[in-house]
Structure 1
Amino acid sequence: MVRDAGAPVFYRHAYVSAYEQSPLTTVDAFAYFVARAGDKPIAVMPAYLQTAVNPLRRMYEVYPEAAGEPALLSHTWHCYDAHVPATAEVLPRLLDAMIRTASMLGARWCGFMNVQRGNDLSQALRAAGLPARHLTDRWAAGLSTYEHYLAGLSPRARANLRRNERRAAESGVTVETLPVEHASLDEITLLCVKTASRFENNRYHPGPAFARFVTALGDLAHVIEVRQHGRLVAAGVCLTDTSRFHTWTCGVDYAVDGNYSPYGVLFAESVRLAIRLGKSTLEGGRGNAAFKRRHGLSPRHLDAVLHRV
């Protein structure tokens, strides 16, 4: 169902299974919905009962009335592209099942985070009478070749990207792409936690659970390590599905020797890796809007759609 619907990596079995075994946020209960026509599955949907449902401090800004109350949500906050792999006519049945389950679990709210405005799910939720509230944006770009990508940037951004890579090389920076089993996940976890703490997202990479989760993703994940004289100065955990390359999360240490940005090095290598893997879309995730816009990514408006149980 997930493959046929073209749903993103967050709905793959390995991702959903890894999240159940090593949840990256506090999850009070897991629910998995399957609709069938006879013996044939025609819709699937994971959902998670969460009391602390606001690690990025966004939801309560748009739904202040839901602050501190348990909610049954599809998906988790680590998924920034909500889908329901299903045909549109099945969604009302899934919503009814979700509302009943939320009531059974004692949730006061149920619904969806990070629904791209205008996509099939967004239109189906609107048709069901559920209003949407703008939550945040995610950023994405089309890809073909690296030269074509660079040509699409402004002259200044293109020159800055090339200059940054040259200065990094002159400063002894090395870049390596690794499968998860060979990556330094303990170091990467510490760097990601340190980076998240700069934005007060202190629980977004919960220590040992993060390393276990990434390991369980297997070949869905690719790790980029940027080192200066052996010291890890930037790292990215990237995810892939059929056509998309997700720069899912990263950590950066800006206290480096030399006049370069380790984040810029990491980003450039992410674009190259996406192209090497034959992915046609670069998914840049949320946040850091100024950098992403300057480097050719465009916003996708994401909405929150909640129903009071």
Structure 2
Amino acid sequence: MRAYERFPLTGVEAFFYFVVREHGRAVAVLPVSLLRGVDPIGHLRPRYPVSAGDRGLLSHVWHCYDAWLPGAPHTAAVTSAVIGEMRALAAELGADWYGFINVPHTSPLRDALIAEGFPAEHIEYRFTVDLRGMTSADDYIAGARPRGRANLRRNGRRALEAGVTIRVMDTGEGDLMEVAELCAATTARHGTGAFYPPGLFADFVGALGDRACLVEVREDAKLVGVAVCLRDQTRFHAWACGVDYDTRANYSPYPILYTESVAQALREGRLVLEGGRSNHAFKLKHGLSPLPLDACLLHV
């Protein structure tokens, strides 16, 4: 959160932090942001009548795909308290919308928001791999669908034959502008290149320190694939990826990035690989499980 405040990747006007206390003791917290252009990647427009210039007071930020109330022991009561404060602050700031984005569909938070009068509209899926019981990336490959399993093995073999190098490194060891430009170019293929503005993105990743690492795939000196990965206590997040498909040999760097991300997660003893949002066909075929995400928004 400190890194995102210094280098916000979207049009954030202000950050706020709610703290819910019970007899003076903090029992829940919630980061929120006031955003110019409430829908930077187009997830809301098919479900809500938002316009390009709308401002919204939203849970956390769009680059976080996991909305929840950290520490909440009684979700319904805590959610009610937070919603009242969010509504009041949104009105004070002149926002058009307020609420939560990227809420897991099966979560108690979603149920509590619905009880508070919010709609819950499906906006996207995020994808995960349960690493419990796995000892190596071979276990992950074995769990993919047959065509996905064959694709992972084929791409790994062809990359090896082409002399490709795969390296996991600290963010301080990488060329972060090169990484950022490849991530932005990749998302631009899908119309959301502005989601990773290269200069800000490089600074943000650099500010994460050891909470992040890079997985790089190179042909000689050329960067053909990169994953910016985040860590928490139990999960390893393949958070942002960039891929150059103009490779010398007949292989794709993308499945190689996922295989190596799983391998690194296992080396670090994480229980879950978070594979981010979108790219459904690839992720379903290659052993990732979908988790539907909702947006719960109301007009101010």
TM-score by structure 2 length? 0.95
Aligned alpha-carbon RMSD (Å): 1.3
Matches within 5 A, 1:113-152: 113-143=101-131, 144-145=134-135, 146-152=137-143
What do the CA deviations read for 1:84-112 (whole angstroms, capped 9, x no partner)? 11231211111101111101111021001
Instruction: State which of 202, 205, 210 in structure 2 corresponds to 1:214.
Output: 205
CA apart distance, 1:32: 0.9
Partner Cα separation in structure 2 for residue 284 and residue 172 of structure 1: 26
Partner Cα separation in structure 1 for residue 299 and residue 51 of structure 2: 9
Mean CA deviation greater in 144-153 or 117-126: 144-153
Aligned to 2:232: 241
Partner Cα separation in structure 2 for residue 77 and residue 194 of structure 1: 19
Aligned to 1:283: 274
Partner Cα separation in structure 2 for residue 154 and residue 118 of structure 1: 25
CA apart distance, 1:67: 5.0
Matches within 5 A, 1:1-309: 16-65=1-50, 67-85=52-70, 86-87=72-73, 88=75, 89-143=77-131, 144-145=134-135, 146-309=137-300
Alignment-mate amino acid for residue 240 of structure 1: R
CA contact (8 A) 2:126 2:275 kept: yes
Across the two proteins, how many residue pairs are aligned to each other? Answer: 294
CA contact (8 A) 2:79 2:112 kept: yes
What do the CA deviations read for 1:122-175 (whole angstroms, capped 9, x no partner)? 121122222201111111121122232222223332222112111101112001
What do the CA deviations read for 1:250-292 (whole angstroms, capped 9, x no partner)? 1100001001111121111111111111111111111110110
Partner Cα separation in structure 1 for residue 46 and residue 144 of structure 2: 34
Partner Cα separation in structure 2 for residue 169 and residue 147 of structure 1: 16
Alignment-mate amino acid for residue 55 of structure 2: P
Partner Cα separation in structure 1 for residue 148 and residue 198 of structure 2: 35
Partner Cα separation in structure 2 for residue 138 and residue 32 of structure 1: 25
Mean CA deviation greater in 298-307 or 58-67: 58-67
CA apart distance, 1:65: 4.3
Partner Cα separation in structure 1 for residue 24 and residue 197 of structure 2: 39
Q: Secondary structure at the match of 1:203?
A: helix
Mean CA deviation greater in 34-43 or 180-189: 34-43
Partner Cα separation in structure 1 for residue 270 and residue 208 of structure 2: 18
Quick one: percent identity of the two aligned structures? 48
TM-score by structure 1 length? 0.92
Alignment-mate amino acid for residue 303 of structure 1: D
CA contact (8 A) 1:81 1:116 kept: yes
Alignment-mate amino acid for residue 19 of structure 1: Y
Mean CA deviation greater in 218-227 or 62-71: 62-71
Q: Secondary structure at the match of 2:195?
A: coil
Where do 5+ consecutive residues of structure 1 fail to align? 1-15
Q: Secondary structure at the match of 1:64?
A: coil
